[in-house]
Amino acid sequence: MPTRIIIGLMSGTSVDSIDAAIVEIRGRAPDLSVNLLHHYQANWPPQLRRRLLAAMAPAASSAAEICELNFLTAKTFAAAVCSALQQAGVAAHRVSAVASHGQTVCHLPPRPGRPTGSTLQLGDVAVIATLTGIPTIGNFRSADMAVGGHGAPLVPWTDAILLRDATKTRAIQNIGGIANVTYLPPGQGFSAIRAFDTGPGNMAIDALISMASGGRQRCDTNGRIAGQGRVDKRLFAQLQAHRYFSLPPPKSTGREVFGTAFVEKILVRSNGKRICDLAATLTALTAWSIADAYQRFLPRVPEEVIIGGGGLHNRELMRYLAADLAKLGCGNVLAMDQLGIVNKAREAMAFAMLGAAALDGVPANLPQVTGAAKPVPLGVVAQSTAGTLKKNLSRA
């Protein structure tokens, strides 16, 4: 049973931070035993974060800007690896690979009229490999999309390894910028898993608060603003009619659908309404869309719902969600940390596990989840025989 140390890197659609998980992985995929050695979180340099957000679809960015951001992002990821290793006291030569999700700036899944999907994550893996001296795996979505899949969600494969229960039906609900669910029936294999993006997570709420505050606030901390408002029932009903919610899986979405442009339209239609009422409405929409997706698309109501992602810390969102799930008959809602999985590290850990699958040449996409024509190994590997980590980063 091989034992490897792999560093998973994750930065979500909100570009809040870079999470680096140093993970000890034993076994060959998919029979993996996973131990988190260290979690490190790095803040994005403010100017680079602003440039990344400005470059994201549906914005029109120049080729030169995307080109430069690709390298700057890679250098920032490499610096996060260096800091994580220093903080953990782990030598770079002990690490088998870095597995980087990259920074998504555009994700266009296949749809009627656009049969060929495409995606773009910045952070060139060859740059990361050269600067760290560690082989680096990236571009995890591309192979799945090449065979007709959405390239998302990819974490369900790792959810099954970490969180499947022998007797209970579980839903693993991530609430990041976008919200997505993994449905795990007990006692069944990977083919029984169902997963898809349920709709907006924190993204629309964050965009509203950022625009309303002129960029001074990035999110509705603890749901305080939404907690001061009331749901606008007319607007809520209009938003519930969004076509994404009724689309059957496989499906995925992103900033192109529920980002700044989505919120700008709401602000135009809601001229004069209080920001706290709009925040309450968007918070209620996120909760409703999760419960609605369960009712529409899951084979049965889960016995347990495990919540992860930044949305877990929005008390108002969790209040709405608990009420909506209770209406479906699911009253057992748990936080990710209650199961021994560090919430902040979970997605970075997942990409470390996907990195192990890539090294083993084992397919880690689930065709019934992504819509791909077949299982395929994910990711490309950039090798490096560069010198020491500190020296390379200082030269960069």
Which letter, b or e, does each residue of 178-197 get, where b requires 16 or more Cβ atoms within 10 Å of its Cβ? Answer: bbbbbbbbeeeebebbbbbb
Enclosing H/E stretch for 349: helix 346-360
Please tell me the predicted confidence (pLDDT) of residue 1. 72
Question: Token digits for 230?
Answer: 């009331």
Q: Is the dihedral of CA 204, 262, 52, 350 positive or negative?
A: positive
Topology (CATH level 3) of domain 3-151+348-395 = Nucleotidyltransferase; domain 5 (3.30.420)
Q: What is the pLDDT of residue 27?
A: 97
Residue 10, pLDDT score: 97
d(Cα 130, Cα 373) in Å, to the nearest integer? 34
pLDDT of res. 59: 79
All structural domains of the chain with their residue ranges: 3-151+348-395, 156-343
Looking at residue 264, what is its pLDDT?
Answer: 94
3-state secondary structure 95-155: EEEEEECCEEEEEECCECCECCCEEEEECCHHHHHHHHCCCEEECCCHHHHHCCCCCCCCC
Predicted local confidence at residue 391, as pLDDT: 59
Is pTM, for the whole model, over 0.85? yes
In b/e form, how buried is each residue of 264-298, taking b as 16+ CB within 10 angstroms?
Answer: eebeeebeeeebbbbbbbbbbbbbbbbbbbbeebb
Q: In which residue are the tokens 């979405």 written?
A: 253
Asked if the domains 3-151+348-395 and 156-343 are classified in one and the same CATH topology, the answer is: yes
pLDDT averaged per 10 residues, the chain (length 396):
93 92 97 97 96 86 95 98 97 96 94 89 97 96 96 96 95 96 94 97 95 91 97 96 97 91 92 93 98 97 96 97 96 94 96 97 97 97 71 58
Output the pLDDT for position 390.
56
Distance separating the N- and C-terminal Cα atoms of the chain: 37
CB 134 within 8 A of CB 383: no
- The topology (CATH level 3) of 156-343 is Nucleotidyltransferase; domain 5 (3.30.420)
Cα separation of 358 and 64, whole Å?
31
